[in-house]
């Protein structure tokens, strides 16, 4: 079973959190699902370096990475995903979608209305629980 390690950003702007929607994908279980932005850690990168790079590539934004929030290990049908989620902040909502098809800025109470990728659900649940 292939194992993939990734980082994800829980990006706050004031009291809202950025949620981005994946493109259509041949893997139905992640196709057009919402997720927290991020991506794979490349050889020699720290988790935070990977996150900064991925956010520039995907959204053309620089964030202030505050702290590690949660690590999720999720078994998808084709691979095992280990995702390290970090709390981040931005000073503006200005960004550019380079890889995603949609975005929403939602309050914590609104997060559950989206169709999330399975690996992102534990992050959503922890955010909602912590209020």
Domain limits, the chain: 2-130
Average pLDDT over residues 3-25: 97
Statement: residue 59 has pLDDT above 90: yes
| Confidence at residue 47, expressed as pLDDT on a 0 to 100 scale | 98
Per-residue burial over 29-43, b if 16 or more Cβ lie within 10 Å, else e, is ebeebbbbbbbebee
| Confidence at residue 131, expressed as pLDDT on a 0 to 100 scale | 81
| Triad 8, 126, 7: Cα angle to 5° | 10
Q: Which residue has the tokens 């922890």?
A: 126
> Rounded mean pLDDT of the chain?
97
Contact 24, 32 (CB under 8 A): yes
| DSSP label of 130 | H
Average pLDDT over residues 30-50: 97
Assign domain 2-130 to its CATH superfamily.
Nucleoside Triphosphate Pyrophosphohydrolase (3.90.79.10)
Contact 105, 16 (CB under 8 A): yes
| Confidence at residue 1, expressed as pLDDT on a 0 to 100 scale | 87
Statement: residue 121 has pLDDT above 90: yes
């Amino acid at each position: 079973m292939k194992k993939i390690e990734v980082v994800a950003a829980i990006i706050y702007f004031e009291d809202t959190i950025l949620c981005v929607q994946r493109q259509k994908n041949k893997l139905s279980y992640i196709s057009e699902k919402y997720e927290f932005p991020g991506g794979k850690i490349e050889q020699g990168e720290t988790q935070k370096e990977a996150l900064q790079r991925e956010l520039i590539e995907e959204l053309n934004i620089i964030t202030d990475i505050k702290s590690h929030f949660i690590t999720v290990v999720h078994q998808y049908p084709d691979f095992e995903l280990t995702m390290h989620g970090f709390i981040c902040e931005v000073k503006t909502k200005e960004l550019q979608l380079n890889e995603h098809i949609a975005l929403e800025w939602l309050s914590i109470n609104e997060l559950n209305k989206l169709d999330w990728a399975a690996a992102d659900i534990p992050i959503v649940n922890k955010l909602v629980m912590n209020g």
